[in-house]
């Protein structure tokens, strides 16, 4: 798995079988992993995306940054992501971690100390946005992810663990 951030200034888009709409668009500042989104690989050679190390490295280099964690479906997986966001918030107290999701999944988190809001493409106010849709579903394919807790899969996708 390799992490890349959309370099900008323009967004990149492509057909994607994991998206309910059949296509997906990533805006500048969006981080994706090549295991979940292999169709981003051709953009590497074009300079449209650049390598990204990890959430840990980014927030250490940018204290006080605002990080968006995108998961647009699966309430149970959002509950796990909420725990991951709380861990990140406790670890990096100067930075802010928000969960970005679909409108019907925001209400269960009202009153939470972690911000949960409606995901809209090109949402302003975030320094970096991690696309986490599809990362947990890879555990159904077998291999090492099938034996890993879903919280750890999130952290792995965020670049927390070394490969």
Residue 31 three-state SS:
strand
Q: How far apart are CA 2 and CA 24, in angstroms?
A: 19
Instruction: State the pairing for strand pair 128-131/30-33.
Output: parallel
Longest dimension (CA), the chain: 44
Q: What is the pLDDT of residues 47-93, one digit of tens each?
A: 899 999 999 999 999 999 999 999 998 999 999 999 999 999 999 99
Cβ 67 vs Cβ 132: under 8 Å: no
Q: Residue ranges per domain, the chain?
A: 3-157
The pTM of the full predicted model, rounded to 2 decimals, is: 0.89
| Structure confidence at residue 125 (pLDDT) | 94
Tell me the three state secondary structure of residue 16.
coil
């Amino acid at each position: 798995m390799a992490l890349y951030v959309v370099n900008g200034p323009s967004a990149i888009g492509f057909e994607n079988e994991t998206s309910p709409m059949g296509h997906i668009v990533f805006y500048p500042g969006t981080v994706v992993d090549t295991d979940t989104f292999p169709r981003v690989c051709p953009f590497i050679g074009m300079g449209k995306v650049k390598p990204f190390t990890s959430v840990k490295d980014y927030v250490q280099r940018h204290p006080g940054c605002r990080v968006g964690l995108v998961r647009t479906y699966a309430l149970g997986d959002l509950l796990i992501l909420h725990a991951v966001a709380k861990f990140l918030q406790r670890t990096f107290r100067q930075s802010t971690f928000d969960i970005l999701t679909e409108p019907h999944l925001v209400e269960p988190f009202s009153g939470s100390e972690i911000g949960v809001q409606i995901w809209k493409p090109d949402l302003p106010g975030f320094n970096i946005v991690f696309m986490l849709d599809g990362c947990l579903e890879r555990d159904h394919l077998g291999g090492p992810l099938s034996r890993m807790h879903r919280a750890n899969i999130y952290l792995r996708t965020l670049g927390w663990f070394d490969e």
